[in-house]
Amino acid sequence: MVRKTLSSRSPIKTLEKNITGGVGPGKLGVFASRKGVGKTACLVQIALDRLLEEKPVIHVSYASRVDYIISWYEEIFKNLSTRENLKSAMEVHDRIIRHRVIMNFRQEGMPAAQVLKSLEALLGPGNFPARTIIVDGFNFYLPCREDLELFKKFAVEHQLEIWLSCSLKGEDPLFDENGVPFILKDYLKIIDIIITLEHFQGKVKLHLVKDHQQLPGKKLRLQLDPQTLLLARD
Amino acid sequence: MERTIERMRNIGISAHIDSGKTTLTERILYYCKKIHRIHEVKGKDGGGATMDYMDLERERGITITSATTNVSWKDYSINIIDTPGHVDFTIEVERSLRVLDGAILVLCSVGGVQSQTLTVDKQLKRYKVPALAFINKLDRIGANPYKVKDQINDKLGRRAALVQIPIGLEDRFQGVVDLIKMKAVYFDGANGEIVREEEIPPELEDEAWQYREELLDAVSLFSDELTEAILEDRVTEEILLQAIRKGTISREFMPIFLGSAYRNKGVQPLLDGVVNFLPNPAEVENIALDLDDQEKQIVLRPDPQGSCVAYAFKLEDGPYGQLTYIRIYQGRINRGDELFNSRSKQKFKVGRVVRMHADHMEDIEGAIAGDIIALFGVDCASGDTICAPGLNYAMTSIYVPEPVISLAIEAVDKISADRLARALNRFTKEDPTFRVYIDPESKQTIIQGMGELHLDVYIERMKREYKVEVTTGRPQVAYREAITTRADFDYTHKKQTGGAGQYGRVIGYLEPFEGNYEFVNEVKGGHIPREFIPSCDKGFQACLKKGQLIGSPVIGVRVVLTDGQYHPVDSSDIAFQMAAQGAFKQAYKKAKPQILEPIMRVVVETPSEFSGNVFGSLNQRRGIIVSSVEDGTYSRIEAEVPLSEMFGYSTVLRSMTQGKAEFTMEFLKYGRVPANIAEQLMEEYRKKVEQDNKN
């Protein structure tokens, strides 16, 4: 019960309400910002939201070490449970992370085909019924159209939602007049949702810059607390 | 040759199974002129490698027992302690590591860092043992020492650099380039015994300078002199050696050597590395606890003139009686000395003192601090501390894990039964993780250990060494019971039927607790007289031995005694013990007890193509997959799996992956047994109790 309540109160639900048709199965979502603004925090909160509803999650990471990812989850969960005044927090944490598998691919530029093969192994013979895939550290600066198409196809075939992070680099400007990162412009047909993060007066604001067919450039009335890295309503 | 502590080394060879450790040891003995002929492992020529002297080990091609052997290399005396590679025998490894001052970590140039390498490396770190790495099997197809070097840095988290680069690889592997001397080194003669130094082949020169740069970069941290020398471009061999030595001894750096022991290449430079870079016994701090002074820590001085402190780390049954391997930390041991065992509090006289070689022993007069020797006819257990009379020290107790698996055994006939008792007595002395007890109800002999293979090996040894035939039961997991909520008790024990009566009343509650057991006395106003409080504690503790669900030990209970009543005549120690037991039984059921089972941390290393099968097999075993790390073609899958589901897993894994995957497991925690299985366990227990009652 605690878990359900915690999840329904979550700002992630606000986020979903703001997106036409939700995020849902078969969809690809991307959080984009420069390094260190809070993409991983957002991804982990989406994962935790699903985990609190007892929906299994696979967290795919390219660079970070497993223990580093685990500590992300612990940290965010700790802050979340403090904010929501959750009792026996660690017990809940230990219970929900049973539904999470971390897959780490250490080799740089591991082709998506191989990553998906491993995911397939875990979903199929591994019998792990994941509904959400989190992909952190995917490099959009390498040629990646094919890889993204494969991810999208995989999402549709397996009825999964896939969330990626996109680390922006280089000199300003990084965004076009609609707020869409230049690096993602080529992939607008493949990606369903793009949310950008921006530092603004000591806060991190979230903008919805691609919502399925539209480019709404909408302020999401959501921000990231730079202290706790938790999402909150404005 | 006079032995001085500066020219002594005590080293171990730690490795992943099959990385060629035994072959390497064999070659070291050969080059140090301790053996006259090279044997191959697995007894191709019927001889078997010299260090693997137990039949069983020969048969399985693995090393189980740590034998120690003494060799000389260029005026240095080196004691080599052969450590087992398999994880199920870790107590052997750990005890060996306790007496080492340095180690060679052997890796396979094809397999690289594998899960057992991680276990072994963790042990080196836990015991703070400085180490060199030796990447072996460079002649194998797929050899890639550079990849292994990166893995040592990444996966083991070491700062490591090559001190050599290979000249050719696989079937073209010829020798190495020494990056310290900047010379090419080749190994000539029928058995590679002639070391020939040449100029570096021109095609390797750039690469050599590049890796030398990397080496300088890594070790300049440890020597200001080297940093200056680099800036002024006048790095000498001596300065570089000193910097590497300093880095290695401080355990901040790991030099990497290369070779192929099987092809007789690279072993001699490795031995030079042992004397150049690993510490002598005086460079390692060792601490003892003074048992006469509240276990105060005493730093031992490796001074031959001091009072003797030594540590018995290994027992062995030889043809001439019990042999005790001893590491001397302080003072000296001579034949005829009187010494004191601080555990048994017994004094004894030193009879024969011997130095062990792989195949024979040499009688010696005595030995000084730093050395490793063996004594004959001393009655002690491994892990005992031996001191000069007047001292009462214990070497820091080594970490001994609790056993997680048990097995009922029975000798097939009377003769075997007597021998079995002797065998068990010996094994429990040798290995503290191997335990024996008689089940008070079934009267069965139960052996306990760290895993299936651990117990298997002892059963094999019973057969071979003691000629005992035993039948075994099914392996049993060590379950526990624990309460989940607070429950009150108020219990009166009253018995007044003739003779002295018994009376005691206890009031209080049980509650879950992080540790094993805690007793809190909050009784005020002398409602229970002070002398009976320990009786209550004792009564409660008696109940912990056997829970009411399945008769397993109860853990995680705090008992708080808040009130009670006594009778001036009828209250007694036993009356309050009985009252406490009654109270526990009363409250236990109300405290919602549950059954716990050991959960193991299982790590499987497998070629990625099989990862789906591995995921499935772990899932089937009620495992939770924590992570999967994929590195090129290999996956390292980590999971938490109940021990009860892991029986026979090695066979399953082997057939599932064409023998290409392997796994390690260690105890992680106690976890709750799912309801359906708990039901089954309780049913079995009920039946067993009924059966016992009938008999």
pLDDT tens digits, B510-555:
999 888 899 999 988 889 999 999 999 999 999 998 899 998 889 9
Mean pLDDT estimate for chain B? 84
A102 to chain B: closest CA residue: B627
- Specify the pLDDT at position B44: 42
Confirm or reject contact between B485 and chain A (CB < 8 A): no
Q: Do B628 and A101 touch (CB under 8 A)?
A: yes
H-assigned helices in B61-195: 90-99, 115-126, 145-154
Find residues 127-146 of chain A whose CB sits inside 8 Å of chain B: 127-128
Q: Do A122 and B612 touch (CB under 8 A)?
A: yes
Query: At a CB cut-off of 8 Å and minimum separation 6, what does A82 contact?
Result: A89, A228
- Specify the pLDDT at position A9: 66
Contacts of A105 in chain B (CB under 8 A): 629-630
Domains, in order of start, for chain A:
2-233 (3.40.50.300)
Contacts of B625 in chain A (CB under 8 A): 101, 122, 126, 128
- Report the distance separating Cα B430 and Cα B452, nearest Å: 18
Contacts of B619 in chain A (CB under 8 A): 126-128
Distance from CA of A59 to the nearest CA of B (A): 9
Query: At a CB cut-off of 8 Å and minimum separation 6, what does B224 contact?
Result: none
- Specify the pLDDT at position A155: 93
Q: Which residue has the tokens 């159209």?
A: A145
- Specify the pLDDT at position B61: 38
Confirm or reject contact between B625 and chain A (CB < 8 A): yes
The reply to whether B405-478 and B481-547+556-583 are identical in fold is no
Confirm or reject contact between B231 and chain A (CB < 8 A): no
* Whether the Cβ atoms of residue B103 and residue B226 lie closer than 8 Å to each other: no
- Specify the pLDDT at position B56: 43
List the end-to-end C-alpha distance of chain B, in Å, as a whole number.
70
Dihedral sign from CA coordinates of B609, B613, B619, B622 = negative
Find residues 158-217 of chain A whose CB sits inside 8 Å of chain B: none
Partners of B356 in beta bridges: B361
Closest CA to B480 of B542, B562, B552, B550: B552
Q: Do B627 and A122 touch (CB under 8 A)?
A: no
Q: Do B627 and A121 touch (CB under 8 A)?
A: no
- Specify the pLDDT at position B590: 93
The CB density around residue B228, as the number of other CB atoms within 10 Å, is 13
DSSP one-letter string for B619-662:
HHTT-EEEEEEEETTEEEEEEEEEGGG-TTHHHHHHHHTTT--E
Contacts of B612 in chain A (CB under 8 A): 120-122, 124-126
Q: Do A101 and B632 touch (CB under 8 A)?
A: no
Distance from CA of A178 to the nearest CA of B (A): 38
* Whether the Cβ atoms of residue B303 and residue B331 lie closer than 8 Å to each other: yes
The CB density around residue B363, as the number of other CB atoms within 10 Å, is 10
- Report the distance separating Cα B152 and Cα B488, nearest Å: 56
Closest CA to B512 of B448, B475, B557: B557
Is the CATH number of domain B5-281 3.30.420.10? no
Distance from CA of A214 to the nearest CA of B (A): 37
Confirm or reject contact between A56 and chain B (CB < 8 A): no
For the B595-676 domain, the top CATH level (class) is: alpha beta
Q: Do A128 and B625 touch (CB under 8 A)?
A: yes
Q: Do A121 and B638 touch (CB under 8 A)?
A: no
**The CATH number of the domain covering residues in B481-547+556-583:** 3.30.230.10
**The CATH number of the domain covering residues in B287-395:** 2.40.30.10
Partners of B103 in beta bridges: B12, B131
Closest CA to B410 of B439, B432, B434, B431: B439
Q: Are strands A132-136 and A57-61 parallel, antiparallel or unpaired?
A: parallel
A73-132: pLDDT as tens digits: 999 998 888 888 887 777 788 888 889 999 988 766 678 888 898 899 899 888 889 999
Low-confidence ranges of chain B (pLDDT < 70): 1-2, 17-19, 34-67, 82-94, 317-320, 358-360, 396-401, 441, 632
* Topology (CATH) of B405-478: Alpha-Beta Plaits (3.30.70)
Q: Do A125 and B638 touch (CB under 8 A)?
A: no
Consecutive H or E run containing B71? strand B68-73
Confirm or reject contact between B674 and chain A (CB < 8 A): no
Q: Do A66 and B619 touch (CB under 8 A)?
A: no
- Alpha carbon B479 to chain centroid distance? 23
B436-455: pLDDT as tens digits: 988 776 778 889 887 777 78
Query: At a CB cut-off of 8 Å and minimum separation 6, what does B485 contact?
Result: B511, B512, B591, B592
- Report the distance separating Cα B338 and Cα B297, nearest Å: 24
Choose among A66, A107, A126: nearest Cβ to B616.
Answer: A126
- Specify the pLDDT at position B34: 58
Spell out the domain ranges in chain B: 5-281, 287-395, 405-478, 481-547+556-583, 595-676
Q: Which residue has the tokens 């390497």?
A: B24
- Write out chain A's pLDDT in tens, 234 residues: 455 566 666 777 777 777 775 678 899 999 999 988 889 999 999 999 899 888 999 999 987 778 889 889 999 998 888 888 887 777 788 888 889 999 988 766 678 888 898 899 899 888 889 999 999 989 898 888 999 999 999 999 999 999 999 999 888 888 888 889 999 988 988 999 999 998 888 788 888 888 877 776 666 777 888 777 888 877
Choose among B612, B627, B629: nearest Cβ to A121.
Answer: B612
- Report the distance separating Cα B354 and Cα A199, nearest Å: 74
Find residues 148-207 of chain B whose CB sits inside 8 Å of chain A: 154
Closest CA to A167 of A75, A42, A76, A81: A42
Interface test with A, best of B625, B631, B652 (most A CBs within 10 A): B625
B212-235: pLDDT as tens digits: 999 988 888 888 888 888 888 888
Task: Assign B602 to helix, strand or coil.
Answer: strand
Query: pTM of the predicted model, to two decimals?
Result: 0.64
Distance from CA of A62 to the nearest CA of B (A): 10
* Whether the Cβ atoms of residue B159 and residue B251 lie closer than 8 Å to each other: no
Contacts of A126 in chain B (CB under 8 A): 611-612, 615-616, 618-619, 625
Q: Do A107 and B625 touch (CB under 8 A)?
A: no
B639 to chain A: closest CA residue: A101
Partners of A203 in beta bridges: A200
Choose among A102, A110, A127: nearest Cβ to B616.
Answer: A127
Size of interface A-B (CB pairs under 8 A): 66
Q: Are strands B634-642 and B366-368 parallel, antiparallel or unpaired?
A: unpaired
- Specify the pLDDT at position B328: 92
Interface test with B, best of A106, A116, A136 (most B CBs within 10 A): A106
Tokens of residue A157, six digits: 């075939």
* Whether the Cβ atoms of residue A15 and residue A231 lie closer than 8 Å to each other: yes
In single-letter form, the type of residue at position B464 comes to: R
Task: Assign A33 to helix, strand or coil.
Answer: strand
Find residues 69-98 of chain A whose CB sits inside 8 Å of chain B: 98
Q: Do A106 and B629 touch (CB under 8 A)?
A: yes
Contacts of B122 in chain A (CB under 8 A): none
Count CA atoms closer than 13 A to B129's CA, side-chain side.
29
Confirm or reject contact between B635 and chain A (CB < 8 A): yes
